[in-house]
Amino acid sequence: MMLAEYLPNENIVFSNASRWQDAIEAAAQPLLTKQLIKLEYIDAIKTAISNPGGTYMDLGYGITLAHARPENGALQTALSLASLSSTVFLNDNADHPMRLVFILAASDSTSHLSLMRNLSLFLGDQTARENLIQAKSISEISELLARF
């Protein structure tokens, strides 16, 4: 499966969130709307981030991959993305700036592995990653994703 299939246009949002909690909620909203996650899943993500060491979800480059355990309300394996209009600090820690927030919902321990492989290849490509951070529209993001 291509990355674009995991991240359809309706799972991509642009957000003016000014707090990390709001950025997580904005990023997760498409999955909640499509009933791919339960509300508890978003709460579990925010709890995991606030716990000591929760900033492990920071991938660097201003990119966060937020997730929780499948049993916390992931109903289907899915991915969503929020592109933030300004930098927000993960868990209010200036060492962990966020401009992009991916929400990963994994319904079990293996179904997300292909998705993660494709996302890693994409984010490992410096040009693709930088273009994603700079993208100003859903169509720009879709075009970038279609190559992976």
Known catalytic residues are 67
How far apart (Å, rounded) are the C-alpha atoms in residues 128 and 123?
A: 7
13 three-class SS: strand
Name the residue type at position 57: M
How far apart (Å, rounded) are the C-alpha atoms in residues 67 and 112?
A: 11
Q: Shortest CA distance to 111 belongs to which of 67, 77, 78, 148? A: 77
The answer to whether 91 touches 26, Cβ cutoff 8 Å, is: no
Cα dist from 84 to 17, 60, 69, 75, 121, whole Å: 7, 15, 25, 26, 22
